[in-house]
Chains A and B, each alone.
Chain A
């Protein structure tokens, strides 16, 4: 019995030594976090009456905190623009990630007051690329909302400004806003 105790004691001691040796935390590694967007650019390319692009482009940028620069864009009323959204993570454009998961991503746009936007047409079914018509004459706020994981076939996921977009499921991936002042 004494021998047994010694054997078992030795086993415990050995187990303890082996495991106690690995009792220090690992040195942390810097994060390879390139998943979260840290910058966004939205460009408005003025279209001529035939719908062709002109060289007149106005761009608004957002930093990681969602602050728009400039905070107000001067665009023309009753004018169509091609609106291009570019998402960046660590300086790299990650639009392709959204395009790869096109089935579960969609942008919605809300003007407040709603008279600010005359129409919006998705060029790509997502909203990274679309055609927007600016309307009205008073400054309005444009909210740009990217939904992820929604059911894009849901009736409430069709209109660019569907007030009940929540019904289609999913969650917000991006939620920024800025002001537009229509001129002329």
Chain B
């Protein structure tokens, strides 16, 4: 059983140094007494590698939190044979020359991506997929901290954002967002109010230890909504067997919006054999009005306060983990986006920018959103025997979304929208492995959601009150050959939805709906040698319609449109075929990965302009109907890297999507346009003090979206734009701690631009220059 045995190995890796390290120093002869620091770093990111096992002929040690392992008792001018292993990295087996005790730097290469297994439920339940995936962690992630989750994820090729101004962003994976992608936050399906385009994921980016983007349909593993991809956000694994208190302190200052963010994470192991591990984490952030190159965006301040706690217990046969997190954010909505009717909207579009220049302030007025999200989970893992292991996870989420509008008669203090959602889920998974070749999972998911509008708000709720029950059962099998892997899976899902509400005329509406679906996936990967990697995955996926798609009956104030649901909509079904070709040359200074996909939808649900107007005393509003059609998405994501030398590194990523409503032979709206980002980085990796130093110049080019239907939008997509970003930073090892400082300038040339995927492009431009300073202290 490969999976379990690898766990046992890693478990042994954890324990071995504890058993042997304290003895090594004393056990050596006096003759050879050099202490040689060995620094282990990720080859690509130069991030220090923690807990790598280093074996010499005489000792077994482990790298610490700075990636340092001290080889004691070494003889001057001698050779030492090293064997270094770390999960997720290719082992190093080589002989080094010990001169006079100088620090030895070694870079480890990440193992082939398709063999790296994404850990999705705590530290035991792992999921491998043949779908294309990219992970952001370590240094790379540190430089993105302080941004929202969508902005962080968008540094992966093929991931963009759907924005409602600068502070509300939803991740878009291969053109899919909202309920067409799944977000797994610490192994739990994120359930908030994601049906709304202006509802951002309720996740604290400061708590993320890694962000993995899976760019394929993963409905077999996760059920509904995993249509276009999965965003896996995990905190760092709990530090079992790491004695003492360790942690990270972050301070981030951003000039645009004069935003400050601070974060503190403390963790450690407890107990006689350090089998307990704990973590406390918190982050606070406040920002004021954002600025475009020419003017301020009034009322775009934000406030955020988040905290989380985790406690785990892990022994040989089983482990248990409890986790709780709290997220609260208050977001000001740009004043100029509050519109009366289409006359208003057209006047603003004609003006192309707000009618005034705004000013800077931190105060948040209406319109604003207050969003709170709480997550509690309890997870258990148990090894039955060499073949079987079990995982059980219960999670409870509470989400409250309050939206305040500018209202008359002292009602501005009363939210126009006040939704409270409870979501609970029980996941059971049994993993099987037979020797080295076969692996499999079977599992059951059961969940319930209740989403209620708070009454007496003097508004008509956008969506009815509803509850859902969901049940899913799945089976997955993998065969691991010498140079290839095959995978297949099947899943059954059922959803019962019950909705009821009163419309504007106080007529009761709603009803009960049943949805069910069978999802299937098949995938393969082929690694003929250590240069090429080919993988392919075809999977069906589905999602039941959301309540707003079924029942919207009213004015969507933020969008100045009248939206009508259709309660007869069927579930959306799709099949996504994702292919990856990756190449790395023998010298390993050039790598390229191309992801190509075809994504077909039966019953793609979208908001269709009816080209009629809803007339009211407030004026006229265009009517949009939720309709379904058949759609075809095709696309390419490209990532490439070339090291001219150890100092100069060039990286490139780009993506292109073509989306078509094939029933009506027309384009689909809100599809990201073609884009390319490339950068040149200068690195001085081996300076002893300070540590690695880098400087990077990045160029972003985004094309105009020319594939749109003229009468489906108020305004044609904005013209393309180009941005220059600059970054530089260094890492300073202070004893066993690391201090890192990163400075970046986004939109260096203060370019005035609009992005098609920003819903506020009708009223305002995107952000101007921003200088960002990040200081992180890891101890």
Measured CB to CB, the residues of A under 8 A from B are 1, 5, 8, 11-12, 15-16, 19-20, 22-40, 62, 64-67, 94, 97-98, 100-101, 148-149, 166-169, 171-176
**Are A64 and B616 closer than 8 Å at their CB atoms?**
yes
Residue of B nearest to A150 (CB): B355
Cα of A69 to Cα of B469 in the assembled complex, Å:
50
Check A148 against B506 for contact (C-beta < 8 Å).
no
Find A25's partner among B378, B452, B506, B615 (CB 8 Å cutoff): B452
* CA gap between A64 and B344 in the complex, in Å: 19
Which of B52-60, B179-187, B455-463 lies on the face that meets chain A? B455-463
Complex Cα–Cα for A170 and B67 (A): 57
Q: Are A66 and B615 in contact (CB under 8 A)?
A: yes
The answer to whether A23 touches B467 (Cβ under 8 A) is: yes
Residues of chain B lying within 8 A (CB to CB) of residue A16: 394, 424, 426
| CB<8 Å pairs between A and B, sample of 30 | A8-B378, A12-B378, A12-B394, A19-B424, A23-B450, A23-B469, A25-B451, A25-B465, A25-B466, A28-B453, A28-B455, A31-B460, A31-B502, A32-B455, A33-B504, A35-B409, A38-B617, A66-B619, A67-B615, A94-B409, A100-B410, A148-B406, A149-B406, A166-B347, A166-B351, A168-B355, A171-B338, A172-B341, A172-B619, A175-B340
- Cβ–Cβ contact B617 & A8, under 8 A: no
- Known contacts A22-B422, A27-B500, A169-B356: does B409 contact A100 (CB below 8 Å)? yes
Inter-chain pairs besides A29-B455, A175-B618, 20 sampled, C-beta below 8 Å:
A1-B315, A8-B378, A20-B424, A20-B448, A22-B422, A25-B500, A28-B508, A31-B502, A35-B411, A37-B617, A62-B617, A66-B619, A66-B620, A166-B344, A167-B355, A169-B355, A171-B338, A171-B406, A174-B619, A175-B340
* Pair A175/B619 contact, Cβ less than 8 Å: yes
Q: Are B619 and A24 closer than 8 Å at their CB atoms?
A: no
Residue from the list A36, A97, A171, A176 in contact with B344, Cβ < 8 A: A171
A31, B408: Cβ atoms closer than 8 Å: no
Please tell me if the beta carbons of A30 and B502 are within 8 angstroms of each other in the complex.
yes
If the complex has contacts A26-B452, A175-B340, A175-B341, are A35 and B467 also in contact, measured as CB distance less than 8 A?
no
Inter-chain CA distance A37–B320, complex, in Å, is 57
Q: Is the CB of B467 within 8 A of A65?
A: no
Q: Are B506 and A19 in contact (CB under 8 A)?
A: no
Inter-chain contact A32/B458, CB cutoff 8 Å: yes
With A35-B458, A166-B351 known as contacts, the answer to whether A172 contacts B343 (CB < 8 A) is: yes
CA–CA, A85 and B478, complex, Å = 74
- 8 Å CB interface, B443-501 against A: 448, 450-453, 455-456, 458-461, 464-467, 469, 498-501
Report how far A52 CA is from B364 CA in the complex, Å: 48
B397-411 CB contact bits vs A (8 Å, 1 = yes)?
000000000111111
| Complex Cα spacing A7 to B650, Å | 55
Complex interface: chain A residues within 8 A of B150 (CB): none
Query: For B339, what are the chain A residues with a Cβ–Cβ distance below 8 Å?
Result: 171-172
Is B578's beta carbon under 8 Å from chain A? no
In the complex, the answer to whether B458 meets A34 with C-beta atoms within 8 Å is yes
How distant is the Cα of A25 from the Cα of B465 in the complex, in angstroms? Answer: 6
Taken together as a complex, chains A and B put the C-alpha atoms of A5 and B458 apart, in Å, by 50
Chain B interface size, as a band, is: 35 or more
Assess whether B238 is interfacial by the CB under 8 Å rule.
no
In the assembled complex, the CB of B395 is this many whole angstroms from the nearest CB of chain A, namely 11
Within the complex, the shortest CB–CB distance from A51 to chain B, in Å, comes to 31
Nearest-neighbour CB distance to chain A for B387, whole angstroms, equals 20
Q: Determine whether the beta carbon of A97 is less than 8 Å from that of B450.
A: no
Contacts of B335 in A (CB 8 A): 149, 169
B396 interface contact, C-beta 8 A: yes
For A38, give the chain B residue with the smallest CB separation. B617
B724 CB within 8 Å of chain A: no
Interchain CA distance A64-B548 in the complex, whole Å: 24
Query: Quick check: is B380 within 8 A (CB to CB) of the other chain?
Result: yes
Q: Is the CB of B467 within 8 A of A24?
A: yes
Is there an interface contact between A33 and B460, defined as CB atoms closer than 8 Å?
A: yes
The answer to whether B615 touches A65, judged by C-beta atoms less than 8 angstroms apart, is yes
Task: State the 5 A-B residue pairs at the shortest beta-carbon distance, nearest first.
Answer: A172-B340, A175-B619, A97-B409, A171-B340, A29-B455
Q: Which residue of A lies closest to B452 (CB)?
A: A26
A97 proximity list for chain B (CB < 8 A): 408-409
Task: List chain B residues, Cβ under 8 A from A5.
Answer: 318, 380
Residues in A neighbouring B453, C-beta threshold 8 A: 28
The residue in chain A whose Cβ has the minimal distance to the Cβ of B465 is: A25
B714 nearest CB across to chain A (Å): 16
CA distance A171 to B340 in the complex (A): 5
Nearest to B412 among chain A residues (CB) is A101
A94 (CB) vs chain B CBs: closest residue: B409
Task: Find chain A residues with CB under 8 A from B469 CB.
Answer: 23
Chain B hits for A98, CB < 8 A = 408
**Distance in Å: Cβ of B649 to nearest Cβ of chain A:** 49
Bound form: Cα–Cα A36–B422 in Å: 31
Residues of B within 8 A of A39 (CB): 617
Residues of chain B within 8 A of A174, CB atoms compared? 617-619
CB of A20, distance to nearest CB on chain B (Å): 7
Chain B residues closer than 8 Å to A8, beta-carbon distance: 320, 378, 380
Which one of B344, B409, B422, B506 contacts A172 once the chains associate, using CB atoms below 8 Å? B344
Tell me, in angstroms, the Cα distance from A39 to B110 when the chains sit together: 68
Chain B residues near A19 (CB-CB < 8 A): 396, 422, 424
Question: How far apart are the CA atoms of A25 and B547 in the complex, in Å?
Answer: 13
Within 8 A of A (CB), among B13-32: none
Query: Does A28 lie within 8 Å of B464, measured CB to CB?
Result: yes
CB nearest to A176 among chain B residues: B617
Contacts of A149 in B (CB 8 A): 335, 338, 406
In the bound complex, residues from chain B placing their C-beta under 8 Å from that of A22 are 422, 450
Residues of chain A within 8 A (CB-CB) of B348 are: 166
